[in-house]
Structure 1
Amino acid sequence: MNDDTSTSVTIRRETGPTMLLGSGNYFDYANPEAEDLTIEDYAYGLAFTGRFSGQCVNKRTGQRVFYSVAQHCEILSKLVPAELAYAALMHESGEVVCGDLTSPLKSMLPSYKTIEKACAAAIERRFRVPAEDVAAIKPYDIRLWASEREQLLNWDGRPWGASDNALPFDVLIEPKDPYTAAKDFLNRFSELAPFEAAAP
Structure 2
Amino acid sequence: MTWILTRSGKRFDLQSPSAKMVDAADIAYSLGQLCRFNGHTGAFYSVAQHSIIVADLVPAEHQLQALLHDAAEAYVGDMASPLKKMLPEYRQIELRVWHAICAHFHIEPELAPCVQDADLIALATERRDLMPAHPDAWECLAGTQPMAARITPWSPTEATTHFHYRLLDLLATTHRARAAA
Q: Same fold by TM-score, threshold 0.5 exceeded? A: yes
1:23 aligns with 2:1: no
Code of the aligned partner of 2:147: F
Aligned position for 1:4: none
Could you tell me which residue of structure 2 aligns to residue 164 of structure 1?
142
Structure 1 CA distance for aligned equivalents of residues 140 and 76 of structure 2:
30
User: 60, 73, 77: which one pairs with 1:95?
Assistant: 73
Q: Which runs of 5+ in 1 are unaligned?
A: 1-12, 58-64
State the Cα RMSD in Å: 1.7
In the TM superposition, 1:102-121 aligns within 5 A as 102-121=80-99
- Residue type of the alignment partner of 1:146: A
Q: Distance in 1 between matches of 2:74 and 2:66?
A: 15
Deviations 1:34-77 (A, max 9, x none): 413221101011111110001001xxxxxxx1000001001111
Aligned: 1:195 with 2:163: no
Q: What is the letter of the counterpart of residue 26 of structure 1?
A: R
Q: Secondary structure at the match of 2:161?
A: helix
Give TM-score scaled by structure 1 length: 0.81
- Give the SS at the match of 1:27: strand
* Structure whose alpha-carbon radius of gyration is higher: 1
Q: How many residues in Structure 1 have an aligned counterpart in Structure 2?
A: 173
Relative to 1, partners in 2 of residues 1:171 and 1:155: Cα closer, same or farther, differing over 3 Å? Answer: same
TM-score by length of 2: 0.89
Runs of 4+ with >6 A deviation: none
- CA 1:141–1:162 in 2, change beyond 3 Å: closer, same or farther? closer
Partner residue of 2:112 out of 135, 143, 147: 135
